[in-house]
């Protein structure tokens, strides 16, 4: 058995500390003896070291360097911002964030290959502290109509130079871990910001997450990672992002059309009462009730009562999914703008077919052709 020489034990220890796990836990996860890993001179074969590298999302060469690890070179500013906000987030989520950043960087590089002026991709409006005015101006900036869905909101945001990724519903490298409470995160960048939204059972549930993260990008010019508690915030930047999302999705003129005389007495009947408005505006019942409560058109207790009811009648989360249309998955995950840019590069000979496949989540070549055909027909 041939062991790899010159493995830097400090780098293994640094990765464990960064991921919040012990050497013993790493040994269990990789199936390698903890004695071999924890030694001052780790006794690992290439395959074993590769297992460790894959577990941490690093390359094998990372563990062969004699240099001390410098966090600012390993983790970007955006990553450190998110990690500081949610220090207990899992290694799986950390790897997803890094993977997302890498995919965004590949996209920007692709546009440069296509000779697109990347400096003008994202040109946001100038904002002040008036959240209501900011939401109204953003709605005009996005040029959204009276009838919307999550996908139409997503397309409007992508047209303004912001990538929108959607996590997968089934287990895989683009899924927000099932055990995580994170609903979405955003990566601010002056050239190409990015929003990641967790896939939920109903797309309308994702609209608020999408606009909340947009608020962080436009109002605060910052990266953020958010769970359900952040969407209940009553102060600070999270509260501002909540206000912004609600005002953008359900402006005051929309509220005026809600038939309040038809409001049921039972919380369980609210969904049916608000169904036509939810369908037209592409939002959930809770978002509409929150706005009705904020404007005192209904009592706060009506909104809070519905939330208590919905928690006791929670619908199943979107897990599992199916891969019957595997060739369409990159479109669902990365969005139309990203996918069409890949095909533009392929068709202009800037990317080989194999390289295009790697950009599209490793699609098989036959699926790359199927996806291109699908996009051409839509």
User: Comparing 127 with 244, which gets the higher pLDDT?
Assistant: 244
**How many angstroms separate the CA atoms of 174 and 94, rounded?**
12
**Predicted confidence (pLDDT) at residue 183 exceeds the cutoff of 80:** yes
The region of weakest confidence among 109-113, 171-175, 366-370 is 171-175
3-state secondary structure of 301: helix
User: Comparing 118 with 279, which gets the higher pLDDT?
Assistant: 279
CA-nearest of 187, 104, 173, 178 to 362 is: 173
**Predicted confidence (pLDDT) at residue 324 exceeds the cutoff of 80:** no
DSSP assignment of 83-140: HHHSTT--HHHHHHHHHHHHHHHHHHHHHHHTT--GGGS--PPP--S-HHHHHHHHHH
Joined tokens for residue 251: 């402006």
**Predicted confidence (pLDDT) at residue 368 exceeds the cutoff of 60:** yes
3-state secondary structure of 345: helix
Quick one: what percent of the chain has pLDDT higher than 70?
97
DSSP assignment of 194-262: EEEE---SSHHHHHHHHHHHHHIIIII---EEEETTGGG--SHHHHHHHHHHHHHHS-HHHHTTS-GGG
User: Comparing 89 with 378, which gets the higher pLDDT?
Assistant: 89
β 163-166/194-197 pair status: parallel
Query: Which pLDDT score is estimated for 81?
Result: 95
**Predicted confidence (pLDDT) at residue 39 exceeds the cutoff of 90:** no
Query: Which pLDDT score is estimated for 118?
Result: 83
**How many angstroms separate the CA atoms of 251 and 245, rounded?**
10
Q: b or e along 168-207 (b: 16 or more beta carbons within 10 Å of the residue's beta carbon)?
A: bbeeeebbbbeebebbbbbbbbeebbbbbbbbbeebbbbb
Query: Which pLDDT score is estimated for 127?
Result: 86
Query: Which pLDDT score is estimated for 311?
Result: 84
CA-nearest of 136, 56, 118 to 90 is: 56
Residues 108, 109, 110, 116: is their CA dihedral positive or negative? positive
**Predicted confidence (pLDDT) at residue 319 exceeds the cutoff of 50:** no
**Predicted confidence (pLDDT) at residue 191 exceeds the cutoff of 50:** yes
Cα–Cα distances (Å) from 359 to 61, 93, 181, 206, 325, in that order, read 23, 20, 28, 25, 18
**Predicted confidence (pLDDT) at residue 320 exceeds the cutoff of 60:** no
CA-nearest of 56, 50, 69, 60 to 95 is: 56
10 by Cβ neighbours in 10 Å (0-12 / 13-18 / 19+) ranks as middle
Sheet containing 163-166, strands listed edge to edge, beginning at the edge strand earlier in sequence: 163-166, 194-197, 182-187, 224-227
Query: Which pLDDT score is estimated for 239?
Result: 94
Query: Which pLDDT score is estimated for 143?
Result: 95
Beta bridge partners of 187: 194
**Predicted confidence (pLDDT) at residue 316 exceeds the cutoff of 60:** no
Cα–Cα distances (Å) from 63 to 36, 52, 79, in that order, read 15, 9, 21
**Predicted confidence (pLDDT) at residue 171 exceeds the cutoff of 80:** no
N-terminal to C-terminal alpha carbon distance within the chain: 55
Q: What is the mean pLDDT of the chain?
A: 92
CA-nearest of 184, 165, 288, 177 to 227 is: 184
DSSP 364: -
Highest mean pLDDT among 31-45, 108-122, 153-167: 153-167
Q: How confident is the model at residue 213 (pLDDT cuts 50, 70, 90)?
A: very high
Once rounded to an integer, what is the mean pLDDT over residues 327-335? 95
CA-nearest of 283, 337, 290, 292 to 146 is: 283
Query: Which pLDDT score is estimated for 322?
Result: 55
Query: Which pLDDT score is estimated for 24?
Result: 95
Q: How many CA atoms lie within 13 A of 8 on its CB side?
A: 15
Query: Which pLDDT score is estimated for 321?
Result: 53
Query: Which pLDDT score is estimated for 314?
Result: 64
Is 104 in contact with 47 (CB distance < 8 Å)?
no
Query: Which pLDDT score is estimated for 317?
Result: 47
Quick one: what percent of the chain has pLDDT higher than 90?
82
pTM, two decimals, is: 0.91
The region of weakest confidence among 32-36, 99-103, 119-123, 291-295 is 119-123
User: Comparing 13 with 125, which gets the higher pLDDT?
Assistant: 13
Joined tokens for residue 364: 């098989």
Query: Which pLDDT score is estimated for 339?
Result: 96
CB atoms under 10 Å from CB of 98, counted, come to: 17
Query: Which pLDDT score is estimated for 315?
Result: 55
Once rounded to an integer, what is the mean pLDDT over residues 211-236? 93
**Predicted confidence (pLDDT) at residue 160 exceeds the cutoff of 90:** yes
């Amino acid at each position: 058995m041939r062991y790899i020489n010159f493995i830097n034990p400090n780098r293994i220890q640094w990765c464990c500390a960064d991921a919040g796990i012990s050497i013993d836990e790493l040994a269990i996860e990789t199936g390698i003896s903890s004695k071999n890993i924890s030694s001052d001179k780790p006794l690992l074969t290439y395959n074993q070291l590769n297992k460790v590298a894959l577990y941490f999302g690093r390359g094998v060469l990372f563990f062969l360097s004699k240099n001390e690890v410098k966090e600012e070179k390993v983790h970007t500013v955006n990553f450190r911002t998110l990690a500081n906000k949610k220090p207990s987030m899992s290694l799986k989520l950390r790897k997803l964030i890094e993977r997302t950043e890498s995919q965004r960087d590949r996209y920007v590089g692709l546009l440069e290959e296509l000779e697109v002026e990347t400096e003008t991709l994202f040109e946001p409006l100038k904002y002040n502290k008036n959240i209501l005015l900011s939401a109204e101006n953003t709605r005009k900036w996005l040029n959204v109509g009276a009838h919307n869905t999550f996908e139409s909101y997503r397309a409007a945001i992508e047209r303004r130079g912001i990538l929108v990724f959607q996590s997968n519903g089934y287990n895989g490298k683009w899924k927000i871990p099932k055990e995580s409470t994170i609903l979405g995160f955003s990566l601010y960048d002056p050239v190409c910001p990015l929003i990641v939204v967790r896939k939920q059972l109903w797309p309308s549930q994702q609209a608020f997450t999408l606009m909340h993260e947009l608020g962080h990008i436009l109002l605060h010019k910052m990266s953020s990672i958010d769970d359900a508690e952040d969407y209940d915030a009553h102060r600070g930047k999270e509260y501002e992002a909540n206000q912004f999302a609600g005002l953008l999705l359900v402006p005051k003129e929309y509220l005026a059309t809600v038939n309040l005389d038809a409001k049921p007495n039972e919380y369980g009947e609210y969904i049916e009462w608000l169904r036509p408005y939810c369908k037209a505006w592409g939002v959930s019942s809770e978002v509409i009730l929150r706005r009705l409560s904020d404007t005192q058109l209904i009592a706060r207790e009506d909104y809070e009562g519905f939330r208590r009811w919905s928690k006791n009648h929670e619908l199943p989360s979107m897990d599992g999914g199916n891969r019957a249309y595997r060739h369409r998955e990159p479109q669902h995950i990365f969005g139309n703008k990203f996918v069409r840019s890949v095909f533009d590069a392929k068709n202009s000979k800037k990317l080989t077919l194999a390289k295009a496949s790697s950009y599209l989540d490793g699609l098989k070549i036959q699926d790359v052709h199927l996806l291109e055909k699908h996009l051409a027909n839509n």
